[in-house]
Amino acid sequence: MKRVFNFSAGPAVMPEEVLRQAQEEMLDWHGIGMSIMEVSHRGPEFQSVLEQAEADLREVLKVPSNYHVLFVPGGASTQFAMVPLNLLSETNKEADYIETGLWSQKAVQEAKRYGVINVAAQTKLHEGLYSLPLQHEWRLNPKAAYVHYTPNETVGGIEFHWVPKIPGIPLVADMTSSIMSKPIDVTQFGVIYAGSQKNVGQAGITIVIIRDDLVRDPLWHTPMLYRYKTHAEHHSCYNTPPTYAIYMSGLVLAWIKQQGGLTVLEERNKRKAKKLYDCIDEHGDFYFSNVVPECRAMMNVVFWLRREELTKEFLTQAAQAGLMNLRGHRIAGGCRASIYNAMPEAGVDRLVEFMEDFAKRCS
C-alpha cells in the first residue's frame, strides 16, 4: 500500500487514523454485524452516531446552547440559496455581501435570485497584490437582513484574520475551507456554514450552525429541504440524510478532540503555513504569492512560479516525488497547496524541500 501527500483543495486528505477506523468498522460496526451505512437513519445505531457527532462538534467549537447544529445534505453551494431563502423575508429582501473571490461571487449570484443584493465591498488589487477590504471601507446597508462573507476564499488563498463586527445585523459566514482550522467565537455569527469535504470529513453534507432566532419561516416558495426549520425540527433527519458522510464527520470530530482540540491544531496549522510562505518569500526570485502577507490563507497556500512556463514541469516532478494535487484552481491557474488539519507537518516539510530543490535546479 502507498500513501502520498495529498494537497487537494477538496475533497481533501483525511486523517489516516480515521480512514483506518472506518476500514475496521466497515463490515461490522460496533458488533452489530452490519456496516453503519446499512442501517436505518432512524434506528438507535445511526441516531447514536448523529448525536455523538453533534455533541463533539459543539464541544470542539464551543457552540452555545442557543444555536442549532444541523447536518444538511448537499454542498456549501446549497447554502448560497438556503441563506437568502431563510433569512430574507417578504418584508425585507435586502442583504449585504462581501465579494472577495470565486465562492463569494457565486453566493452573490445565487442570492440575487431571491433578493436585492448589495455588494458592500470587494477585494482590492494594488501593484499585483490582492488584499481584503477593511471594515470601515464596507458600504453597508443599515436595513440589510444579514451580511454574508467568506472568511477564507479557497481559490484565491485569501483569508480574513479578523471577524467583522456589525451590531444588530446577523453575520453569515461561509467557513467551508476554514472551519476547524482554529478556535472561533460562535456568538459573533448568526449563521456559520461549511461543506464537510475539507476539514470535517468526506463530501455530502454541510454543517450549519445557526442561532435560534434565525430559524424562522422562510420565503413562502422555499422547498421543504431548503428550510432550516425543517432540519432543526427533525434533528437533521427529515428525509434520509447521507448517513455515511455524517458517520465520517463524526470520526473526524473525535480525531480533532483526540489531537487536543482547535488550539493545538491552530498552532500546528500556523507553523505549516509559515513554513510554506517563508519558502515562497525566501525564493522570491523564483516563486511568488499574489496576496499581501496579512491576508494570506492558512489552509490554502496559493503561489506562482515567476517563469510560468515551468509550472507544468514543477507539478509533474512534484507528483513523481509523491506530492500530489498541487495544481491551482482550474480558473485561477498557478499552484495551490491545501494544508488542512489532516496534512501532516512532514508533508509540508517534504514540499518545502522539493520547492527549494526545484528552484535551485531551475534557476
Ligand X SMILES: Cc1ncc(COP(=O)(O)O)c(C=O)c1O
CB of 349 to ligand X, least distance (A): 25
Cell numbers for 331: 480558473
| 353 to 263, 323, 356: CA distances (angstroms) | 27, 11, 5
The residues that are catalytic are 103, 174, 198
**6, 8, 10, 243: residue in contact with ligand X (rule CB under 6 A):** 10
Options 154, 202, 236, 249; binder of ligand X; rule CB under 6 A: 154
**Residue 242 CA neighbour count, 13 Å, CB half:** 20
C-alpha cell at 157: 488563498
Q: What number of chain residues touch ligand X (CB under 6 A)?
A: 11
Rounded Cα distance, 43 and 18, in Å: 23
Q: Are 233 and 69 in contact (CB under 8 A)?
A: no
Q: How many residues does the chain have?
A: 363
Least separation in angstroms between residue 13's CB and ligand X is: 14
**Cis link prior to 218 (omega < 30° from 0)?**
no
For the CB of residue 31, give the shortest distance to ligand X in the complex, in Å: 34
Per-residue x/- marks for ligand X, 58-77, CB under 6 A? -----------------xxx
Q: Report 24-43 residues binding ligand X (CB under 6 A).
A: none
Report DSSP letters for 72-110, one per residue: EES-HHHHHHHHHHHH--SS--EEEEEE-SHHHHHHHHH
Q: Tell me if 100 contacts ligand X by CB under 6 A.
A: no
Residue among 39 and 102 whose Cβ is closer to ligand X: 102
Give CA–CA dist 68/189, Å, rounded: 12
- Shortest Cβ distance from residue 162 to ligand X (Å)? 17
Q: What are residue 327's DSSP bridge partners?
A: 335
Site string for ligand X, 192-231 (x = CB under 6 A): ---x------------------------------------
Q: Which of 46, 148, 174, 244 binds ligand X (CB under 6 A)?
A: 174
Q: Which span sits near ligand X by CB under 6 A: 89-97, 170-178, 211-219, 289-297?
A: 170-178
